[in-house]
Amino acid sequence: MNERIKIIIFDLDGTIYQDFSFYKQYIHFMVEGTQKEDWEERLIGFAEDVLCGKRLKMNAFYRCAAINAEDPRRYCDLAEKAIVQIEAADASPAPDGVVNLGDAWAVVTFMGYSLGLFDAARCQRTYQRTRRAMLGSGLRGNTELREAIAKANTRCETALLSNSDAESATELLNRLGFGEIFGKRAFSVEKPQGLVEAVHRFFPAALEEPESVLAVGDHAYNDLEPLRRAGCRTLWMNPYPDIAEPPHDVCLNTLGELAEYLNGLCS
């Protein structure tokens, strides 16, 4: 596969950096000032169980309708029943009010809506507060990965395509030291439905030879599935070894492994 790759499409969150604790801050902001404030510790434990493969099912679809529960234990039990039986290949985009649990961000977003704490505006505020907290925590970029992407640029064309807005994503990339590393960048891409269009905009002929395109991301439904169905190669970044797996060509767990893989493409 390696010798045929000419274009690499990167995701941002969970792919260019990995943060394994942001969901705790997100849940804190999510319940702060609400009637669910004293549920915080239990909800953090629930999120941890989901990411460990013990509750819910990662890479599956869940209905975000509010769940009426008198206590967090009851909420956690009822959340299991919100699963929607849809195959990723049959849902692009997902039906209204349904989310794919493709990464930790999706898990906490599902929790916010199903707890009845979110409308679109409050969800966005919670995301922005969490992002600011992450930036203030001393988050640093992976030097090996940065060097590997720079090396890949000598052999392939690269693009970063993110659902994050331009302002917050650019600030994060600059903080990580990845601000100028990609050949092309686009934000607010509205993946999954906007992913193929964004690739076509940057690389008009790419999908005429889809096996030459490698999509790299941690949220398989958003970052990989549209291009996988177009015939592209897919590399799934998954730091959670016990969760349900989506279709993919290659699976890696750490940024170091991704750097090593990219170096192999250029050797």
In tens, the pLDDT along 67-96 reads: 999 999 999 999 999 999 887 766 667 788
Tokens of 43: 């909800």
DSSP code, position 222: I
Other Cβ atoms within 10 Å of 90 Cβ, number: 6
Placement of tokens 């274009």 in the chain: 7
> For 163-203, what is the HEC assignment?
CCCHHHHHHHHHHHCCCCCCCEEECCCCCCCCHHHHHHHHC
Residue extents of the structural domains in the chain: 2-18+141-265, 22-135
Question: Residue 113 is inside which H or E element, if any?
Answer: helix 104-114
In tens, the pLDDT along 185-195 reads: 999 999 999 99
- Res 2 pLDDT > 80: no
Peptide bond into 93 cis (omega under 30): yes
In tens, the pLDDT along 124-167 reads: 999 999 999 998 888 889 999 999 999 999 999 999 999 999 99
In tens, the pLDDT along 33-54 reads: 999 999 999 999 999 999 999 9
- Res 106 pLDDT > 70: yes
CA–CA separation, 227 and 9 (whole Å) = 10
CA–CA separation, 120 and 145 (whole Å) = 34
pTM: 0.94
Percentage of the chain surpassing pLDDT 70?
97
Instruction: With cut-offs at 50, 70 and 90, classify the pLDDT of residue 267.
Output: confident
- pLDDT for 105: 97
Cα 189 to Cα 16, 176, 225, distances in angstroms: 17, 21, 15
| Strand-pair category, 250-252 with 233-237 | parallel
| CATH class of segment(s) 2-18+141-265 | alpha beta
Question: Residue 143 is inside which H or E element, if any?
Answer: helix 143-152
